[in-house]
Amino acid sequence: MSAKHQDLEIQTRIDHILARLREEGFRVTPQRLAVLEVLAASENHPSVEAIYDQVRRRFSTISLATVYKTISLLKEIHEVLELGFADRSSRYDGHKPYPHPHLICTRCGRIQDPELSSLEELTREATTQTGFEIVTHRLDFFGLCNDCRCEE
Amino acid sequence: MSAKHQDLEIQTRIDHILARLREEGFRVTPQRLAVLEVLAASENHPSVEAIYDQVRRRFSTISLATVYKTISLLKEIHEVLELGFADRSSRYDGHKPYPHPHLICTRCGRIQDPELSSLEELTREATTQTGFEIVTHRLDFFGLCNDCRCEE
DNA sequence: CGGATAAAAATAATCGTTATTAATAAATAA
DNA sequence: TTATTTATTAATAACGATTATTTTTATCCG
Ligand SMILES: [Mn+2]
Ligand SMILES: [Mn+2]
Ligand SMILES: [Zn+2]
Ligand SMILES: [Zn+2]
């Protein structure tokens, strides 16, 4: 994928989220734009701190609370997926804002999206077996990424 | 399953954990016994508070910190599975202390263990596709349990 | 442009959990 | 048995990421 094509994709995503914000009657502020630009550009499921650090480079006065509020707003309009963990840390996916599996490296913290075809099958199995009406799900695999596995 | 058979199963599980504690050189105290009895008897993936409340009925002076420490110890010797959530709440499975999928009712809080055969297949798929060395996983389905679905 | 009001910044509060400390109980040695 | 050591408990303080609150600032619409 060329750098230019990549940039276009990012801009398309940004425009879409901006449109969604206006659609829902929310204001587009420079702070919000800065946060969602970071989310749209990042390939790495960034944490709040990572987003905050990035945004501050071009917007030194922004408050951490504003970053939290903006992310919360993007969650509300279903344009970001939050991966909250039990240790209170969270990572965010601004590209695929719907449930999907993740591979999490416990050594370097990298988070990756695999494409798994047999997940739907699994959901069906769970539904028929228990009578649950499944609304959403969360699937995390933990282990060592390719890089960390080789360095061990 | 008869009530008697149920009691026997619970006692077997308690005995196993007690043996594991001694095996690892930890003392068996009345407080620890009380906590693991609740865990072994519970079918419902209890929370810390739920365990604390149960234990206090027969052990009114026990401290909440002791419950936390005991659970932490049982995690350490791999005899309880912790399901930690992003909202800081945790639920515990004292029956199957290894990773397995869960069905979580978002209305009544009930947590249930389904038997899903196609999970291994999914793990293999993730491994081959990404080069990750998968060590463990976590799979939660969220929705409405059979009871709550009918009451809606 | 105003003026209504949403949003930002700064800061305080929250609340499960963890750490700390002193007291107690169990194990071991003498 | 009694003394000594060590693990465990109970009580309570500290923690820290997130959320709530308050005041100030900026956006949006006519
Ligand atoms: Mn993702
Ligand atoms: Mn379970
Ligand atoms: Zn890694
Ligand atoms: Zn239910």
Answer whether residue A1 shows pLDDT above 80: no
Instruction: State whether A89 and A118 are in the same domain.
Output: no
Q: What are phi and psi of B86, to 5 degrees?
A: -65, -20
Q: How many domains does chain B have?
A: 2
Residue of A138, A144, A146 to mutate, testing the B interface (most B Cβ within 10 Å of its Cβ)? A138
Instruction: State whether A141 and A86 are in the same domain.
Output: no
Instruction: State whether A24 and A84 are in the same domain.
Output: yes
For residue B122, which of A92, A120, A60, A83 has the smallest C-alpha distance? Answer: A120
Domain that holds residue A87: 1-96
Nearby residues for ligand 4 (ion, Cβ within 5 Å): B 105, 107-108, 110, 145, 148
Of residues B118, B132, B141, nearest to A121 (C-beta)? B118
Calculate the average pLDDT of chain B. 94
Segment A67-88 shows an average pLDDT of 96
Residue environment code for B18-44, b if the CB has 16+ CB neighbours within 10 A, otherwise e? beebeeeebeeeebbbbbbbbbbbbee
Instruction: State whether A104 and A91 are in the same domain.
Output: no
- Of A39-53, A94-108, A111-125, B65-79, where does mean pLDDT reach its minimum? A111-125
| Paired tokens of B109 | 């809080």
We report the CATH number of the domain holding residue A64 as 1.10.10.10
Residue B1: per-residue pLDDT: 65
Residue A60's pLDDT band, with cuts at 50, 70 and 90, is very high
Residue B68's pLDDT band, with cuts at 50, 70 and 90, is very high
Answer whether residue B27 shows pLDDT above 70: yes
Q: Confirm if B71 and B51 have CB atoms less than 8 A apart.
A: yes
**Residue A103 CA to ligand 3 centre (angstroms):** 10
Instruction: State whether A22 and A46 are in the same domain.
Output: yes
Q: What whole-number distance in Å separates Cα of residue B97 and Cα of residue B84?
A: 14
Instruction: State whether B12 and B58 are in the same domain.
Output: yes
The DSSP annotation for B14-27 comes to: HHHHHHHHHHTT--
Write the pLDDT tens digit of every residue in A31-44: 999 999 999 999 99
We report the CATH number of the domain holding residue B108 as 3.30.1490.190
Give the distance, in angstroms, between residue A52 CA and nucleotide C12 C1'.
21
Residue B2: per-residue pLDDT: 77
Write the pLDDT tens digit of every residue in B107-149: 999 999 999 988 888 999 999 999 999 999 999 999 999 999 9
Segment A124-150 shows an average pLDDT of 93
Residues of A whose CB is below 8 A from B118: 118, 121-122, 125
Instruction: State whether A3 and A42 are in the same domain.
Output: yes
Segment A113-133 shows an average pLDDT of 91
Residues of B whose CB is below 8 A from A145: 130-132
- Cβ of A19 less than 7 A from strand D: no
Segment B59-75 shows an average pLDDT of 95
Segment A142-151 shows an average pLDDT of 92
Residue A19: per-residue pLDDT: 95
